[in-house]
Protein backbone atom coordinates (compact mmCIF):
# COMPACT_ATOMS: atom_id res chain seq x y z
CA UNK A 1 0.00 0.00 0.00
CA UNK A 2 2.81 2.35 0.95
CA UNK A 3 4.50 1.64 -2.36
CA UNK A 4 1.21 2.29 -4.13
CA UNK A 5 0.75 5.61 -2.32
CA UNK A 6 4.31 6.55 -3.17
CA UNK A 7 3.68 5.64 -6.78
CA UNK A 8 0.51 7.74 -6.78
CA UNK A 9 2.40 10.68 -5.27
CA UNK A 10 5.13 10.38 -7.86
CA UNK A 11 2.51 10.10 -10.59
CA UNK A 12 0.78 13.23 -9.35
CA UNK A 13 4.09 15.11 -9.25
CA UNK A 14 4.93 13.93 -12.74
CA UNK A 15 1.49 14.91 -13.99
CA UNK A 16 1.81 18.34 -12.39
CA UNK A 17 5.26 18.80 -13.90
CA UNK A 18 4.04 17.64 -17.30
CA UNK A 19 1.08 19.96 -17.08
CA UNK A 20 3.31 22.84 -15.97
CA UNK A 21 5.61 22.26 -18.93
CA UNK A 22 2.59 22.15 -21.22
CA UNK A 23 1.31 25.40 -19.73
CA UNK A 24 4.75 26.98 -20.17
CA UNK A 25 4.85 25.85 -23.78
CA UNK A 26 1.37 27.25 -24.33
CA UNK A 27 2.36 30.57 -22.78
CA UNK A 28 5.37 30.81 -25.09
CA UNK A 29 3.18 29.87 -28.02
CA UNK A 30 0.57 32.47 -27.05
CA UNK A 31 3.28 35.12 -26.79
CA UNK A 32 4.53 34.24 -30.27
CA UNK A 33 0.99 34.17 -31.59
CA UNK A 34 0.35 37.56 -30.00
CA UNK A 35 3.10 39.15 -32.06
CA UNK A 36 2.00 37.49 -35.31
CA UNK A 37 -1.67 38.32 -34.78
CA UNK A 38 -0.88 41.92 -33.94
CA UNK A 39 1.05 42.37 -37.18
CA UNK A 40 -1.54 40.58 -39.31
CA UNK A 41 -4.37 42.54 -37.70
CA UNK A 42 -2.53 45.83 -38.21
CA UNK A 43 -1.93 45.05 -41.91
CA UNK A 44 -5.59 44.11 -42.47
CA UNK A 45 -6.77 47.23 -40.66
CA UNK A 46 -4.46 49.46 -42.71
CA UNK A 47 -5.63 47.76 -45.89
CA UNK A 48 -9.27 48.42 -44.97
CA UNK A 49 -8.58 52.08 -44.12
CA UNK A 50 -6.67 52.66 -47.38
CA UNK A 51 -9.37 50.97 -49.46
CA UNK A 52 -12.08 53.04 -47.77
CA UNK A 53 -10.21 56.33 -48.30
CA UNK A 54 -9.49 55.46 -51.95
CA UNK A 55 -13.08 54.50 -52.75
CA UNK A 56 -14.54 57.53 -50.97
CA UNK A 57 -12.08 59.83 -52.77
CA UNK A 58 -12.93 58.27 -56.15
CA UNK A 59 -16.65 58.61 -55.44
CA UNK A 60 -16.16 62.21 -54.31
CA UNK A 61 -14.27 63.04 -57.51
CA UNK A 62 -16.78 61.46 -59.87
CA UNK A 63 -20.06 62.27 -58.14
CA UNK A 64 -19.32 65.53 -56.32
CA UNK A 65 -16.38 67.41 -57.86
CA UNK A 66 -17.29 66.83 -61.49
CA UNK A 67 -20.93 67.72 -60.86
CA UNK A 68 -20.04 70.81 -58.83
CA UNK A 69 -17.50 71.96 -61.44
CA UNK A 70 -20.12 71.59 -64.15
CA UNK A 71 -22.27 74.05 -62.22
CA UNK A 72 -19.41 76.52 -61.87
CA UNK A 73 -18.44 75.86 -58.25
CA UNK A 74 -14.79 76.33 -57.36
CA UNK A 75 -12.81 73.30 -56.20
CA UNK A 76 -9.67 74.34 -54.31
CA UNK A 77 -7.35 73.44 -51.46
CA UNK A 78 -8.22 76.61 -49.49
CA UNK A 79 -11.97 76.10 -49.71
CA UNK A 80 -12.51 77.27 -46.12
CA UNK A 81 -11.34 80.76 -47.09
CA UNK A 82 -13.57 80.96 -50.16
CA UNK A 83 -17.28 81.28 -50.66
CA UNK A 84 -19.18 78.50 -52.44
CA UNK A 85 -16.07 76.36 -52.77
CA UNK A 86 -15.40 72.66 -52.32
CA UNK A 87 -12.16 70.95 -51.27
CA UNK A 88 -9.93 69.26 -53.82
CA UNK A 89 -10.18 65.44 -53.72
CA UNK A 90 -6.76 65.19 -52.06
CA UNK A 91 -7.72 67.83 -49.48
CA UNK A 92 -11.01 66.05 -48.84
CA UNK A 93 -9.19 62.72 -48.45
CA UNK A 94 -6.78 64.14 -45.89
CA UNK A 95 -9.62 65.78 -43.96
CA UNK A 96 -11.44 62.44 -43.87
CA UNK A 97 -8.23 60.80 -42.66
CA UNK A 98 -8.04 63.30 -39.80
CA UNK A 99 -11.59 62.45 -38.74
CA UNK A 100 -10.80 58.73 -38.90
CA UNK A 101 -7.77 59.30 -36.66
CA UNK A 102 -9.99 60.91 -34.01
CA UNK A 103 -12.24 57.86 -33.85
CA UNK A 104 -9.58 55.18 -34.37
CA UNK A 105 -6.79 55.71 -31.86
CA UNK A 106 -3.32 55.38 -33.30
CA UNK A 107 -4.43 55.57 -36.94
CA UNK A 108 -3.12 58.32 -39.23
CA UNK A 109 -3.21 58.86 -42.99
CA UNK A 110 -0.91 60.81 -45.30
CA UNK A 111 -0.95 61.62 -49.00
CA UNK A 112 2.39 62.57 -50.55
CA UNK A 113 4.15 62.69 -53.89
CA UNK A 114 7.42 63.43 -55.63
CA UNK A 115 5.52 66.33 -57.22
CA UNK A 116 3.56 68.03 -54.41
CA UNK A 117 1.64 71.23 -55.06
CA UNK A 118 3.36 74.32 -53.58
CA UNK A 119 0.98 74.58 -50.64
CA UNK A 120 1.68 70.94 -49.68
CA UNK A 121 5.48 70.86 -49.98
CA UNK A 122 6.03 70.74 -46.23
CA UNK A 123 3.87 67.70 -45.50
CA UNK A 124 3.19 66.36 -48.99
CA UNK A 125 6.73 65.70 -50.24
CA UNK A 126 9.08 62.73 -49.87
CA UNK A 127 10.58 64.04 -46.66
CA UNK A 128 11.73 60.81 -45.00
CA UNK A 129 13.39 57.52 -45.97
CA UNK A 130 10.21 55.46 -45.87
CA UNK A 131 8.38 57.84 -48.19
CA UNK A 132 11.23 57.77 -50.69
CA UNK A 133 11.37 53.97 -50.62
CA UNK A 134 7.59 53.73 -50.93
CA UNK A 135 7.66 56.02 -53.98
CA UNK A 136 10.46 53.97 -55.59
CA UNK A 137 8.78 50.62 -54.93
CA UNK A 138 5.33 51.72 -56.08
CA UNK A 139 6.84 53.33 -59.17
CA UNK A 140 8.09 49.86 -60.12
CA UNK A 141 4.92 47.97 -59.16
CA UNK A 142 1.69 49.80 -58.35
CA UNK A 143 -0.22 46.60 -57.57
CA UNK A 144 1.57 45.72 -54.33
CA UNK A 145 1.50 47.76 -51.11
CA UNK A 146 4.80 48.81 -49.53
CA UNK A 147 4.87 48.31 -45.76
CA UNK A 148 7.27 48.32 -42.83
CA UNK A 149 7.03 47.87 -39.06
CA UNK A 150 9.23 50.59 -37.57
CA UNK A 151 10.21 51.66 -34.08
CA UNK A 152 9.25 55.32 -33.64
CA UNK A 153 8.88 57.71 -30.73
CA UNK A 154 5.31 56.40 -30.46
CA UNK A 155 6.46 52.78 -30.25
CA UNK A 156 6.16 50.06 -32.88
CA UNK A 157 4.29 51.48 -35.86
CA UNK A 158 3.05 49.97 -39.11
CA UNK A 159 3.55 52.22 -42.15
CA UNK A 160 1.43 50.90 -45.02
CA UNK A 161 1.58 52.62 -48.42
CA UNK A 162 -0.39 52.05 -51.62
CA UNK A 163 -0.24 53.66 -55.05
CA UNK A 164 -2.45 56.68 -55.74
CA UNK A 165 -2.91 56.31 -59.50
CA UNK A 166 -3.77 59.14 -61.88
CA UNK A 167 -7.38 58.64 -62.97
CA UNK A 168 -8.89 59.89 -66.25
CA UNK A 169 -11.03 62.51 -64.50
CA UNK A 170 -7.94 64.07 -62.88
CA UNK A 171 -5.46 64.24 -65.78
CA UNK A 172 -6.60 67.55 -67.26
CA UNK A 173 -6.77 69.34 -63.91
CA UNK A 174 -3.26 68.28 -62.90
CA UNK A 175 -1.80 69.19 -66.29
CA UNK A 176 -3.46 72.60 -66.54
CA UNK A 177 -3.50 73.86 -62.95
CA UNK A 178 -1.36 77.03 -62.83
CA UNK A 179 0.57 75.81 -59.78
CA UNK A 180 1.01 72.20 -60.88
CA UNK A 181 4.67 71.17 -60.43
CA UNK A 182 4.40 68.57 -63.21
CA UNK A 183 2.41 68.90 -66.44
CA UNK A 184 2.93 65.68 -68.36
CA UNK A 185 0.55 63.42 -66.45
CA UNK A 186 -1.07 60.46 -68.18
CA UNK A 187 -3.78 58.09 -67.05
CA UNK A 188 -2.31 55.32 -64.90
CA UNK A 189 0.75 57.32 -63.75
CA UNK A 190 1.79 57.13 -60.10
CA UNK A 191 0.74 60.58 -58.93
CA UNK A 192 1.11 60.00 -55.22
CA UNK A 193 1.26 57.60 -52.29
CA UNK A 194 -1.50 57.03 -49.73
CA UNK A 195 -0.01 55.96 -46.41
CA UNK A 196 -1.79 54.58 -43.34
CA UNK A 197 0.19 54.58 -40.08
CA UNK A 198 -1.02 52.43 -37.18
CA UNK A 199 0.37 52.44 -33.66
CA UNK A 200 0.72 48.89 -32.41
CA UNK A 201 1.12 49.90 -28.77
CA UNK A 202 -2.59 50.37 -28.00
CA UNK A 203 -3.46 47.05 -29.65
CA UNK A 204 -0.52 45.37 -27.92
CA UNK A 205 -1.62 46.65 -24.53
CA UNK A 206 -5.09 45.16 -24.92
CA UNK A 207 -3.79 41.82 -26.12
CA UNK A 208 -1.02 41.89 -23.51
CA UNK A 209 -3.57 42.28 -20.72
CA UNK A 210 -5.47 39.27 -21.99
CA UNK A 211 -2.27 37.22 -22.25
CA UNK A 212 -1.33 38.18 -18.67
CA UNK A 213 -4.71 36.97 -17.45
CA UNK A 214 -4.27 33.70 -19.30
CA UNK A 215 -0.83 33.20 -17.74
CA UNK A 216 -2.27 33.88 -14.30
CA UNK A 217 -5.01 31.35 -14.87
CA UNK A 218 -2.49 28.80 -16.12
CA UNK A 219 -0.42 29.36 -12.96
CA UNK A 220 -3.47 28.62 -10.84
CA UNK A 221 -4.09 25.56 -12.95
CA UNK A 222 -0.56 24.38 -12.10
CA UNK A 223 -1.48 24.48 -8.39
CA UNK A 224 -4.91 22.96 -8.75
CA UNK A 225 -5.12 20.76 -11.83
CA UNK A 226 -8.82 20.06 -11.74
CA UNK A 227 -9.83 23.65 -11.07
CA UNK A 228 -7.26 24.85 -13.57
CA UNK A 229 -8.63 22.64 -16.34
CA UNK A 230 -12.13 23.94 -15.67
CA UNK A 231 -10.92 27.54 -15.77
CA UNK A 232 -8.93 26.90 -18.94
CA UNK A 233 -11.91 25.33 -20.68
CA UNK A 234 -14.08 28.23 -19.55
CA UNK A 235 -11.63 30.79 -20.89
CA UNK A 236 -11.34 28.92 -24.19
CA UNK A 237 -15.11 29.10 -24.55
CA UNK A 238 -15.10 32.80 -23.74
CA UNK A 239 -12.29 33.40 -26.22
CA UNK A 240 -14.13 31.41 -28.88
CA UNK A 241 -17.38 33.33 -28.31
CA UNK A 242 -15.48 36.62 -28.42
CA UNK A 243 -13.78 35.59 -31.67
CA UNK A 244 -17.08 34.50 -33.20
CA UNK A 245 -18.69 37.78 -32.16
CA UNK A 246 -15.78 39.79 -33.56
CA UNK A 247 -15.91 37.80 -36.79
CA UNK A 248 -19.65 38.41 -37.12
CA UNK A 249 -19.21 42.13 -36.46
CA UNK A 250 -16.42 42.29 -39.04
CA UNK A 251 -18.62 40.59 -41.63
CA UNK A 252 -21.41 43.08 -40.95
CA UNK A 253 -18.98 46.00 -41.23
CA UNK A 254 -17.52 44.66 -44.48
CA UNK A 255 -21.01 44.17 -45.91
CA UNK A 256 -21.95 47.74 -44.98
CA UNK A 257 -18.83 49.05 -46.71
CA UNK A 258 -19.64 46.95 -49.79
CA UNK A 259 -23.24 48.25 -49.82
CA UNK A 260 -22.07 51.85 -49.52
CA UNK A 261 -19.68 51.47 -52.45
CA UNK A 262 -22.07 49.55 -54.74
CA UNK A 263 -25.59 50.74 -53.86
CA UNK A 264 -27.42 53.87 -54.96
CA UNK A 265 -28.50 55.62 -51.77
CA UNK A 266 -31.76 57.02 -53.19
CA UNK A 267 -33.23 54.02 -55.02
CA UNK A 268 -31.50 51.20 -53.08
CA UNK A 269 -30.52 49.45 -56.32
CA UNK A 270 -27.02 49.08 -57.73
CA UNK A 271 -25.11 52.24 -58.67
CA UNK A 272 -23.02 53.01 -61.74
CA UNK A 273 -19.79 51.79 -60.13
CA UNK A 274 -21.37 48.39 -59.50
CA UNK A 275 -22.84 48.37 -63.03
CA UNK A 276 -19.45 49.01 -64.65
CA UNK A 277 -17.93 46.06 -62.80
CA UNK A 278 -20.91 43.81 -63.59
CA UNK A 279 -20.88 44.78 -67.28
CA UNK A 280 -17.20 43.86 -67.60
CA UNK A 281 -17.86 40.49 -65.96
CA UNK A 282 -20.91 39.72 -68.12
CA UNK A 283 -19.11 40.69 -71.34
CA UNK A 284 -16.24 38.33 -70.48
CA UNK A 285 -18.69 35.54 -69.69
CA UNK A 286 -20.62 36.10 -72.93
CA UNK A 287 -17.41 35.99 -74.95
CA UNK A 288 -16.47 32.65 -73.41
CA UNK A 289 -19.89 31.03 -73.79
CA UNK A 290 -21.06 32.69 -77.01
CA UNK A 291 -24.41 33.41 -75.33
CA UNK A 292 -26.21 36.67 -76.19
CA UNK A 293 -26.05 39.64 -73.84
CA UNK A 294 -28.74 42.33 -73.90
CA UNK A 295 -28.85 45.82 -72.41
CA UNK A 296 -31.90 47.97 -71.69
CA UNK A 297 -31.14 51.67 -71.25
CA UNK A 298 -34.17 53.70 -70.19
CA UNK A 299 -35.03 57.00 -68.57
CA UNK A 300 -38.10 58.87 -67.40
CA UNK A 301 -39.78 61.00 -70.05
CA UNK A 302 -39.93 64.73 -69.35
CA UNK A 303 -38.36 64.26 -65.95
CA UNK A 304 -36.93 67.78 -65.84
CA UNK A 305 -40.45 69.14 -66.24
CA UNK A 306 -41.53 66.81 -63.44
CA UNK A 307 -38.83 68.11 -61.11
CA UNK A 308 -39.51 71.73 -62.04
CA UNK A 309 -43.24 71.31 -61.53
CA UNK A 310 -43.45 69.09 -58.46
CA UNK A 311 -40.11 69.77 -56.79
CA UNK A 312 -37.11 67.56 -56.17
CA UNK A 313 -38.64 65.75 -53.21
CA UNK A 314 -41.44 64.42 -55.41
CA UNK A 315 -38.83 63.77 -58.09
CA UNK A 316 -36.84 61.58 -55.71
CA UNK A 317 -39.97 59.65 -54.81
CA UNK A 318 -40.74 59.12 -58.51
CA UNK A 319 -37.23 57.74 -59.06
CA UNK A 320 -37.73 55.32 -56.19
CA UNK A 321 -41.08 54.15 -57.59
CA UNK A 322 -39.70 53.63 -61.10
CA UNK A 323 -36.68 51.76 -59.72
CA UNK A 324 -38.95 49.50 -57.66
CA UNK A 325 -41.21 48.69 -60.62
CA UNK A 326 -38.26 48.06 -62.93
CA UNK A 327 -36.56 45.86 -60.34
CA UNK A 328 -39.72 43.77 -60.16
CA UNK A 329 -39.37 43.10 -63.89
CA UNK A 330 -35.95 41.50 -63.38
CA UNK A 331 -37.32 37.97 -63.01
CA UNK A 332 -34.11 35.92 -63.10
CA UNK A 333 -31.39 35.94 -60.50
CA UNK A 334 -28.88 36.87 -63.21
CA UNK A 335 -30.87 39.91 -64.41
CA UNK A 336 -29.29 43.10 -63.10
CA UNK A 337 -30.67 46.63 -62.68
CA UNK A 338 -28.71 49.78 -61.82
CA UNK A 339 -29.24 53.51 -61.66
CA UNK A 340 -26.85 54.92 -64.26
CA UNK A 341 -27.28 58.55 -63.28
CA UNK A 342 -30.02 61.15 -62.85
CA UNK A 343 -33.26 59.67 -64.20
CA UNK A 344 -31.43 57.10 -66.32
CA UNK A 345 -31.41 53.37 -65.53
CA UNK A 346 -29.73 50.38 -67.17
CA UNK A 347 -30.53 46.66 -67.08
CA UNK A 348 -28.17 43.81 -67.99
CA UNK A 349 -29.84 40.66 -69.29
CA UNK A 350 -27.34 37.79 -69.68
CA UNK A 351 -28.24 34.90 -72.01
CA UNK A 352 -31.16 36.91 -73.39
CA UNK A 353 -31.71 37.24 -77.14
CA UNK A 354 -33.26 40.25 -78.86
CA UNK A 355 -36.79 38.83 -78.75
CA UNK A 356 -36.52 38.18 -75.03
CA UNK A 357 -35.03 41.62 -74.39
CA UNK A 358 -37.87 43.31 -76.30
CA UNK A 359 -40.42 41.35 -74.27
CA UNK A 360 -38.84 42.39 -70.97
CA UNK A 361 -38.51 46.01 -72.12
CA UNK A 362 -42.15 46.23 -73.21
CA UNK A 363 -43.29 44.66 -69.95
CA UNK A 364 -41.19 47.16 -67.98
CA UNK A 365 -42.48 50.13 -69.99
CA UNK A 366 -46.10 48.99 -69.69
CA UNK A 367 -45.92 48.39 -65.93
CA UNK A 368 -44.47 51.84 -65.30
CA UNK A 369 -47.21 53.42 -67.40
CA UNK A 370 -49.86 51.29 -65.66
CA UNK A 371 -48.65 52.51 -62.27
CA UNK A 372 -50.28 55.83 -63.21
CA UNK A 373 -47.82 58.04 -61.37
CA UNK A 374 -49.24 61.53 -62.08
CA UNK A 375 -47.21 63.80 -64.39
CA UNK A 376 -49.43 66.71 -65.40
CA UNK A 377 -46.45 68.57 -66.87
CA UNK A 378 -45.72 65.89 -69.50
CA UNK A 379 -46.44 66.89 -73.07
CA UNK A 380 -48.23 63.65 -73.95
CA UNK A 381 -49.45 61.10 -71.41
CA UNK A 382 -50.27 62.70 -68.07
CA UNK A 383 -48.54 59.91 -66.18
CA UNK A 384 -44.89 59.03 -65.80
CA UNK A 385 -43.61 56.97 -68.74
CA UNK A 386 -40.20 55.74 -69.87
CA UNK A 387 -38.39 55.42 -73.17
CA UNK A 388 -36.25 52.31 -73.63
CA UNK A 389 -33.24 51.59 -75.84
CA UNK A 390 -32.48 47.91 -76.50
CA UNK A 391 -29.35 46.26 -77.86
CA UNK A 392 -28.31 42.62 -78.07
CA UNK A 393 -24.92 41.23 -79.04
CA UNK A 394 -23.17 37.86 -78.92
CA UNK A 395 -19.92 36.23 -79.95
CA UNK A 396 -16.26 36.96 -79.35
CA UNK A 397 -16.50 40.47 -80.85
CA UNK A 398 -18.85 41.76 -78.17
CA UNK A 399 -17.54 44.96 -76.53
CA UNK A 400 -18.87 46.77 -73.46
CA UNK A 401 -18.43 50.20 -75.04
CA UNK A 402 -20.34 49.19 -78.17
CA UNK A 403 -23.22 47.77 -76.16
CA UNK A 404 -23.79 50.97 -74.25
CA UNK A 405 -23.24 53.18 -77.31
CA UNK A 406 -25.86 51.32 -79.34
CA UNK A 407 -28.28 51.20 -76.41
CA UNK A 408 -27.86 54.96 -75.93
CA UNK A 409 -28.50 55.52 -79.64
CA UNK A 410 -31.64 53.39 -79.43
CA UNK A 411 -32.84 55.38 -76.41
CA UNK A 412 -32.51 58.65 -78.30
CA UNK A 413 -34.37 57.06 -81.20
CA UNK A 414 -37.21 56.12 -78.85
CA UNK A 415 -37.43 59.70 -77.64
CA UNK A 416 -37.28 61.09 -81.17
CA UNK A 417 -40.12 58.77 -82.23
CA UNK A 418 -42.52 60.03 -79.58
CA UNK A 419 -41.31 58.65 -76.21
CA UNK A 420 -43.05 56.02 -74.08
CA UNK A 421 -41.77 53.36 -76.46
CA UNK A 422 -39.00 50.82 -76.99
CA UNK A 423 -36.49 50.90 -79.83
CA UNK A 424 -33.85 48.37 -80.86
CA UNK A 425 -30.34 49.65 -81.57
CA UNK A 426 -27.80 48.60 -84.19
CA UNK A 427 -26.00 45.30 -83.70
CA UNK A 428 -22.56 44.02 -84.59
d(CA 106, CA 197): 8
Number of other CB atoms surrounding residue 133 within 10 Å: 15
Q: What does each C-alpha distance from 285 to 297, 347, 385, 395 come to in angstroms?
A: 20, 16, 33, 10
Catalytic, 399? Answer: no
Closest CA to 361 of 326, 324, 401: 326
Could you give the CA distance from residue 218 to residue 223 in angstroms, rounded to a whole number?
9
Within 171-267, strands assigned E span: 190-199
Torsion 149-156-194-206 (CA) sign: positive
- What's the CA gap between 163 and 189, in Å, rounded? 9
160 strand-pairing partners: 147, 196
C-alpha dihedral (162, 163, 164, 167), degrees to nearest 10: -140
Reduce the secondary structure of 332-350 to three states and give it as a string.
CCCCEEEEEECCEEEEEEE
Q: What end-to-end distance do the CA atoms of the chain give, in Å?
A: 98
Among the listed residues 55, 74, 317, 343, the single catalytic one is 343
Residue 83 CA to chain centroid, in angstroms?
A: 32
Active site (catalytic) residues: 343
Amino acid sequence: MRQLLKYIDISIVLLVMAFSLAVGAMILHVSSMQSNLLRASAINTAKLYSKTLTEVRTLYTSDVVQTASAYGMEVTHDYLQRKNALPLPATFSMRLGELMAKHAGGAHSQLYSAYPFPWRKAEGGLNDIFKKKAWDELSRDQSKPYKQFLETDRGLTLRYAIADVMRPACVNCHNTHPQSPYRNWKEGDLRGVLEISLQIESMNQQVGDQIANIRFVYSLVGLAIVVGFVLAIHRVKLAKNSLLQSSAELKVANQKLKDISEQDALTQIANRRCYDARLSSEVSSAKRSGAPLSILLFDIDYFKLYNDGYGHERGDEALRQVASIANGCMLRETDFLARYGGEEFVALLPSTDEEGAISIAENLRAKIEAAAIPHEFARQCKFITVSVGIVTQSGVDIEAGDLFKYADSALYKAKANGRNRCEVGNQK
